[in-house]
């Protein structure tokens, strides 16, 4: 997600709190938030999939070899 889109999300959030959004802005905000969440989930899933679990016995054996 580009910095411009994240900045736009923040602008719309601030405007929503202060003066409110018109219907077009609400729709734009919903689309940007959905895109942001999709990218966040993909990135988070990638991090989780890169985690490797190590058995405690393997760790102890590895220490003995070194």
In this prediction, residue 66 carries a pLDDT of 47
Question: CA 32, CA 38: separation in Å to the nearest integer?
Answer: 10
Amino acid 4: pLDDT: 96
Distances from the Cα of 54 to the Cα of 13, 28, 36, 64, angstroms: 43, 45, 33, 16
- Give me the residue spans of the domains in the chain: 3-65
- Domain 3-65 adopts which CATH fold? Helix Hairpins (1.10.287)
Q: Is the dihedral of CA 49, 55, 61, 63 positive or negative?
A: positive
For the chain, 66 residues long, the average pLDDT of each consecutive 10-residue run is: 94 96 96 96 95 73 56
């Amino acid at each position: 997600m580009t910095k411009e889109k994240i900045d736009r999300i923040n602008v719309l959030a601030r405007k929503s709190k202060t003066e409110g959004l018109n219907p077009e802005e609400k729709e734009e905000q919903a689309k940007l938030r959905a895109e942001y969440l999709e990218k966040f989930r993909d990135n988070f899933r990638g991090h989780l999939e890169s985690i490797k679990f190590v058995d405690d016995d393997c760790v102890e054996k590895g220490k003995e070899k070194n």
